[in-house]
Amino acid sequence: MRPNRLQQIFAAKQTAIGGWCAIPDSYCAELMGHSGYDTVVVDLQHGPLYLDAAVPMLQALSSTDAVPMARCSANSFGEINKLLDAGAYGIVCPMIDSADDARALVAACRYPPVGTRSFGPTRGFLHGGPDYFAHANDTILVWAMIETPRGLQNLEEICAVPGLDGVFVGPSDLSLALGVSPSPKWRQPPLSDALARVLAAAHRADRLAGIFCVSVEFAIEMRQMGFDFVVHANDASILREAAQAGVAAIRR
Ligand code: 3PY
Ligand code: MG
């Protein structure tokens, strides 16, 4: 099976830099995949991106060096199975509240006897190779998002769930969970304390820690703090900011 390059990056104690696709378009995914990111996550939770668009995006990412991953819209066995069958090498699942949620997530991502994933890796074979089944359980990365009050409360139990590779912070929802504005103020309590807590709990449990950052500056600081996987923006915000900066510079 084609190796998961992210596993090599993490084994070497390096930080993976992730791209994130909210624009439902395979050419856009291909561009992101050719931009030097270690992985690109196709996001089905927010934005106008549904399964029918996600499949050609995963196909486009297969033609690049970026590891294709997907954020499912919810902890849904059916959707997670579809995304893995379509060739995703990792699942980022939003709104994990409890160890039970994390166990259901892991089960959806792993074939029996470890989990309950159903067999039919249509594109998994094409992206991964003919020995996909023999190695899929050890190759696919499973990330539980920590971004709710209960998720934070149950953090240690979630991190302890066997088969979970890492936790991934959604700082906007986590800010809401902490009773503050969803524009993440990562240098200030209560968010700064929560980020330190998630990172420490993940590493104590021998799990990876990832985070969606809403700027390059935020991502650099999270990398320096010790996060294993950082995302600095999604394609839509990169496009909007570049367009706005161009217009503003010409108007000046
Ligand atoms: C959040 O910040 O809540 C996220 O889910 C990032 O995508
Ligand atoms: Mg979120």
pLDDT in tens, 43-98: 999 989 999 999 999 999 999 999 999 999 999 999 999 999 999 999 999 999 99
Question: Cα of 66 to ligand 1 centre, how many Å?
Answer: 21
pTM over 0.85: yes
Helix count and strand count (H, E) for the chain: 13, 8
Question: Cα of 172 to ligand 1 centre, how many Å?
Answer: 5
> Of the residues 21, 96, 148, 173, which should be mutated to test ligand 1's pocket, given the most ligand atoms within 8 Å of the CB?
173
Using a CB cutoff of 8 Å and minimum separation of 24, what contacts does 202-206 make?
Answer: 202/159, 202/166, 202/167, 204/159, 205/156, 205/159, 205/160
Task: Tell me whether residue 127 is one of the annotated catalytic residues.
Answer: no
> Of the residues 145, 198, 215, which should be mutated to test ligand 1's pocket, given the most ligand atoms within 8 Å of the CB?
145
Cα–Cα distance measured from residue 134 to residue 225, given in angstroms and rounded to the nearest whole number: 36
Query: Where in the sequence is the domain holding 223, given as residue range(s)?
Result: 5-251
For the chain, how many structural domains are there in total?
1
| Ligand minimally distant from the alpha carbon of residue 176 | 1
| Ligand minimally distant from the alpha carbon of residue 174 | 1
- Looking at residue 209, what is its pLDDT? 98
What Rg do the C-alpha atoms of the chain give, in angstroms?
17
pLDDT bin (cut points 50, 70, 90) of residue 201 is very high
Cα–Cα distance measured from residue 212 to residue 110, given in angstroms and rounded to the nearest whole number: 25
Domain with residue 142: its CATH number is 3.20.20.60
All residues at 6 or more sequence positions from 22 whose CB lies less than 8 Å from its CB, including other chains: 43, 46, 47, 49, 234, 235, 236
**In degrees rounded to 5, what are phi and psi of residue 248?**
-65, -40
- What proportion of the chain, given as a percentage, has pLDDT over 70? 100
Q: Which of 46, 135, 203, 232 is catalytic?
A: 46
- Looking at residue 57, what is its pLDDT? 98
